[in-house]
Structure 1
Amino acid sequence: MANVTEGQLNSLISVCEAAAFGRGTETVLDESYRKALKLDLSQFSIPLDLASTPILHRIQQDLVDTDTTLRRHIRTEPYKLNIYDKGAFFKPHKDTPRAENMFGSLVIVFPTPHKGGELILTEKDQSWTFDAAQALSNSTPTEPELAFVAFYSDVTHEVRPVTSGARITLTFNLYFEDSTPESDLPAIPRVTDQSLTMKTAMTELLAEPRIVDGSVNTLCFGLSHSYPVKRDKEPGYDVQELSRYLKGSDALLFRVCKDLKLAPSLEVFHRGEEEFGYLGRDLLQPPYGEIESGLDELLEEGGMQKLDPSEMLWVTKSSGPGMKADYVAYGNEASLESVYGEICIVVHLEDD
């Protein structure tokens, strides 16, 4: 790619297709939202061995082993080659996870001359700009360079319009490797700055009078990241399975709770019709039939644990509903409503 000619670039563009994107459960082609070209994996081959580069080490260090107590092997899977030529862009979106253990995306940018096409990453109230054109400004045909960026799949991102040239990228999906149990990884010290800080904060929390005297018996921690949830199991899906794929601070919090013998679990929190909340390990699955008395009966019949808000404490706020389930509310006419739930880390102190 470092020596690509205009004729070669035009030949590559001529065999590409317009890039679609996901909108809800549909794949759509809408150039007012995304204007780009793509080649599927079956249509190209690039002899790029990621293992021979420092890229995987950086991903392991910055996205996976954010604390040295969190050690999981990863694997990469090539996904698509995209071309953003002059005028191409992609408005804000999140990547669609291909599996439960997919945690992020790796985008490699080739050293083809271009301007614009900055990648803007946004999480909560913060944003970061990755300007590949600037990063590759010192690349030459004799000493070519690559630019790359990796990020969690739930991070909102957009590609700003390319003003000249062509921005060519190769995207990889990033997965936690299921086949490597923790016992097979080399032993390392458990005490690190991040884990020690979190353990200290947790110990101080457990010493609060309302927890010591039993007034509060349930601790809830909202997750910092979003996670894909399978909805195709009956009667429901146990969200505890997601504990193997927690990311960043969520994974560290879960580990610290385990180290403190607090028996953490992942559960779904549903807000009831009044002041009560409900916790459970299963996602509610449609169809639910006719629920005459409304949401509370639905949640109780679904096996959810009813909680008095005075006995539970939200230690960290959640980022919002983690999923929604539909149910039929029976009244003077049938209507389709939604019940929203969020996945959180839960510690039941009364069980300790």
Structure 2
Amino acid sequence: MSDSSDEGSKSYSVDEYAESKQALSRTLDSIRSTGEIGTFYIYSEYANPGLVIGGDRPIRLPLDEDDAQAIKSICQRMPSEHRNRIVVDNTVRNTWELDASKFNLVNKNWCEDFSSRILRDTAKGLGMFELRADPHRLLLYEPGSFFQTHSDSEKEQDIIGTLVICLPSQHEGGDVCLSFESQKHRLSTAKNSEFDLTAMSWYSNVTHEVERLTSGYRLVLTYKLFASGEDKISTSTFSQHTIGLKPMLVKFRTDFGAVEKPLYPLEHLYTKPSLCLKDPKGRDRSVGCCLNEICSEAGFYFMLGQTTHFQVDCDECQDQPTLRILYNLNGDQLSSKLVPDLEDFLDYDIGRKAPHSEDEGGLLAKAEVPRRISDRTEWTLAEGWLII
């Protein structure tokens, strides 16, 4: 897969290669996200969405007891995807839900307010240029309601996250706790719950928990977020990160390019069947856009790789990754079943990438659940940028 013009690559020592890999990894690690893993906005002025349930039952805001009971009467208990099964388990999630097909938002001013302010603020906070939001559910939390730690499934092509709009309804408790690697955020809606509207969002594989509601009702609209339009990151963002990266890639290509094929791991997990440049989230998006700008100039091909991991059950738990599929930046499949050396990965850490065991009680996206095969565990995910 290397360029044939590089056949005369010079020899090098293991230490030289290790040092160059570390330097390249540090430079790529220094690229920061243009957005956050989640957003939180409070709106004191907004258009009433005009919530109507069951075809003809308007819901007044702030929510009162009668309307809360009316909503509850046509809702069902919200199921969970747990251990690869869809179940209703009140020890995991205790929430009432109403599908988007069973309620309407009839105030036309809400649509304008939503798209011009809420969705715009959400996109900016997540570091995206443009987002599309599709209505998903109406959720009602009552005293005692909660949702254990989980991450959302990527069930649809191009879905990147979740938007939650908390409608005016006085309550206590019900904080949302977000976690991604070392980043942790607590989002509290209780303080402004009686009269204000709160909008929260997060990427689809950010782990989150809704803590137990202690009083009142928490009424939320949920939306599925999709990348929309062309991705745009400012030229100043590119130039800031690429000044040192381009000469480093050129040197790496000169010294090792005919033999070594570095792979840079993504931070987020991606479980969809194909990937293209517009799919990555947060810092992954910034890294991808920077590499896309300079790889060809530095003599590299740049693509996404999806790996299957085989973790053998032994004392050392050896990982045996297979690079099953390569995609170009448009999402077209290029190749399959290459076996990279672990040394090709920059800053490779199997512990950070392995999905949690089903026995730990976590809620996983279906495609992330490890599959048992004899004496090994197998899982597939988008592993990283492949720079060849």
Normalised-by-shorter TM-score class: 0.7 to 0.9
Q: Does 1:346 align with 2:385?
A: yes
Superimposed CA distance per residue, residues 160-185 of structure 1 (whole angstroms, 9 cap, x where no aligned partner): 111111111110111123xx4x4xx8
1:257 to 291, 312, 315: 291
2:280 to 241, 246, 250: 246
Q: Distance in 2 between matches of 1:98 and 1:149?
A: 20
Aligned residue number for residue 14 of structure 2: none
Q: Distance in 2 between matches of 1:26 and 1:348?
A: 38
Q: Does 1:31 align with 2:90?
A: yes
CA shift, 1:315, in A, is 5.0
Q: Distance in 2 between matches of 1:171 and 1:339?
A: 33
265-274 or 116-125: bigger deviation:
265-274
Structure 2 counterpart SS, 1:343: strand
Q: 1:50 to 1:128 in 2, by over 3 A?
A: farther
Q: Distance in 1 between matches of 2:233 and 2:69?
A: 54
2:167 to 101, 110, 113: 110
Aligned residue number for residue 62 of structure 1: 125
Aligned residue number for residue 20 of structure 1: 79
CA shift, 1:341, in A, is 4.3
After TM superposition, the structure 1 = structure 2 runs for residues 256-335 of structure 1, keeping only pairs within 5 Å, are 256-260=290-294, 261=296, 262-270=300-308, 278-281=322-325, 303-309=336-342, 312-315=344-347, 319-321=352-354, 335=374
Q: Does 1:228 align with 2:268?
A: no
CA shift, 1:337, in A, is 4.2
Q: Does 1:214 align with 2:256?
A: yes
Q: 1:347 to 1:34 in 2, by over 3 A?
A: closer
Give unmatched runs, 5+ long, in structure 1. Answer: 66-70, 140-144, 231-238, 284-301, 329-334
| Residues 219 and 315 in structure 1, CA contact (< 8 A), matched pair in contact too | no
Q: Does 1:165 align with 2:199?
A: no
Q: Report the residue type matching 1:320 in the other structure.
A: K
Q: Distance in 1 between matches of 2:353 and 2:346?
A: 13
Give unmatched runs, 5+ long, in structure 2. Answer: 1-59, 313-317, 328-334, 356-367
Aligned residues: 294
Q: Distance in 1 between matches of 2:105 and 2:141?
A: 18
Q: Distance in 2 between matches of 1:122 and 1:189?
A: 25
Q: Report the residue type matching 2:159 in the other structure.
A: M
RMSD: 3.1
Q: Distance in 1 between matches of 2:85 and 2:179?
A: 24
- Normalising by structure 2, we get a TM-score of 0.67
Q: 1:161 to 1:28 in 2, by over 3 A?
A: same
Q: Distance in 2 between matches of 1:64 and 1:173?
A: 17
Q: Distance in 2 between matches of 1:3 and 1:339?
A: 49
Structure 1 counterpart SS, 2:134: strand
Aligned residue number for residue 6 of structure 2: none
212-221 or 151-160: bigger deviation:
212-221
Give me the identity figure in percent: 21
CA shift, 1:229, in A, is 1.7
Q: 1:22 to 1:242 in 2, by over 3 A?
A: farther
Q: 1:264 to 1:316 in 2, by over 3 A?
A: farther
Q: 1:91 to 1:190 in 2, by over 3 A?
A: closer
CA shift, 1:105, in A, is 0.5
Aligned residue number for residue 243 of structure 2: 200
Q: 1:278 to 1:7 in 2, by over 3 A?
A: closer
| Residues 75 and 175 in structure 1, CA contact (< 8 A), matched pair in contact too | yes
Structure of greater relative contact order (alpha carbons < 8 Å, 6+ residues apart): 2
Q: Does 1:175 align with 2:213?
A: no
Q: Distance in 1 between matches of 2:279 and 2:380?
A: 19
Q: Distance in 1 between matches of 2:381 and 2:101?
A: 38
CA shift, 1:276, in A, is 7.4
Structure 2 counterpart SS, 1:228: coil
